[in-house]
Chain A
């Protein structure tokens, strides 16, 4: 297991390095940030000074090595716009995004898996057919449109829930979170639901397919022949088998939850990393964009690693192969 983790970390290091090349050069090819930053009436000397101040007068490969040197020391460059370290800006906005993503994941699991279980056990039930039809909508309706509709219905028409911002936050273990206050929970509900809709549908479909496949397996018939209760067959024999693909996919999708939160955060004015990224792109604030993308790469790599470890805990057959490796 240790060997496995070390090997995976080394692969991760390579992935992060390659991504830094692609991201850094990709972002530096697009647009010229200087004209966004200097005042419209600046003369040539002011512009020259700004270029030198931002380090844009050096050749791009030199800029890249300076970036790498900084990155190795935990410095991903300063924001052109705010003049603060980009990493600090992102870390400052990260708790808001993470709590949104975790809330969405939580909703996807507590709503998606039970619905999928029901529709897998009773595929011919009209309720199951309704669930399946709903999951198709969840897959195909665009996130931004659903977000707007949610605001229209719950915030504008019914006035039940607020539509923008994080609401009151409270500090838990030194992290400011909306989940610690009732007002914060009221604020997070709509964006979290919006963000999780796709994942709820995914959880429903995965669970349903898994249940239907598992119920026809010999081990279920054998468990019945042993006189095991239906509840134990479903929640121990079947669930333990179908949790393997569900955990894998939902875990991997956690990265895309953070990614998709760009759209949701923009619609609900949620002050997270996604909104920071959109603002940074609009202002060509290169260091922030690069730092955001690097952090996302790290996220995906770490999530993959965690999923692999979880997978080996759930599936005894994988565990054995690890010992051999």
Chain B
């Protein structure tokens, strides 16, 4: 399969008064055509910043300090603004977390959809309007012509997120970055949104990076999973492999804290400690202070290890869990 996006050695740092925040610190991953990659991690692990880095939407005081972002073979890290503008919303589009906040409250849905088309293509307004209407139909919005005339506040949260998804697919992009698109929605709507997104990626062959803190969400959706912790990807592999045989102690912890039917009534597993302060990361493996398997070796940052088609940054792969 051909790679749509190849991120290698990406480092995005924020230069604040209090010090340098290494929000993304050496991230490598590849997304192939039509593939859905789940990017999983806690708040502050750098997963959203990774998404914004790809689109070149990092604001001061942050910037991409190192690394390459090859999109269809071309490096777009720190590319000129004009070039990025032509890619944004056209070749790579993004779905944001909170549909209440992302749609402009004073502009009608049709304005906000048509401008996404007209920003990239010189088509008649009528055609842009028709494409917008069809896109709303595709994401399961009833009577799309009426909805186009509505303002965002007249739609429910789930409906607004469907509009965002429709906008993301408008220009038939090669890649969609979905940044926690279901976090602000309740569980039944969440399932519908995931279903719509999955259906559309299959139909159009669009690759997708689905950023979430919820392993349960990506388990049924993603082809591959990358687990992020403190600005680094600590484990990467096929979804089934990562879910069934997690190797990194952090992944094991994350999976242990997902409620399932098997451990009903028992206390949920909890990862010890707190997420680290990004201004003062521990030396070596950032997870070591919270890790049950940590040893003296963990003072040195673990290199990326390749085990079959998986990648791991850990000296102590959790083999015993895999055996269970």
A interface residues, Cβ below 8 angstroms from B: 217-219, 221-229, 232, 236-237, 240-241, 244, 314-317, 320
Contacts and interface: CB of A to CB of B under 8 A. Distances in A.
Contacts, number: 74
B96 A222 contact: yes
A240 B107 CA distance: 8
A224 B167 contact: no
B101 interface: yes
Contact of B89 (A221, A227, A236, A244): A227
B104 A223 contact: yes
Interface in B69-122: 85-90, 93-94, 96, 98, 101-108, 115-116, 119-120
Interface of B: 55, 57, 85-90, 93-94, 96, 98, 101-108, 115-116, 119-120, 151, 153-154, 167
Given A219-B101, A316-B151, A317-B153, A226 B106 contact: no
B167 A226 contact: yes
State the majority secondary structure of interface residues on A: helix
Contacts of B115: 226, 228, 232, 236
Given A227-B116, A240-B106, 16 more contacts: A217-B101, A222-B103, A224-B88, A225-B57, A226-B115, A226-B116, A227-B88, A227-B119, A228-B89, A228-B119, A229-B119, A236-B107, A236-B115, A241-B105, A316-B151, A320-B153
Nearest to B116: A226
A316 B109 CA distance: 12
A212 to B, nearest CB: 13
B293 to A, nearest CB: 40
B104 A316 contact: no
A219 B104 contact: yes
Contacts of A228: 89, 115-116, 119
B93 to A, nearest CB: 7
26 contacts: A218-B96, A218-B102, A219-B101, A222-B94, A222-B103, A224-B88, A225-B96, A226-B89, A226-B116, A226-B119, A227-B88, A227-B89, A227-B120, A228-B116, A229-B85, A236-B107, A236-B115, A237-B104, A240-B104, A241-B104, A315-B106, A316-B105, A316-B106, A316-B151, A316-B153, A320-B154
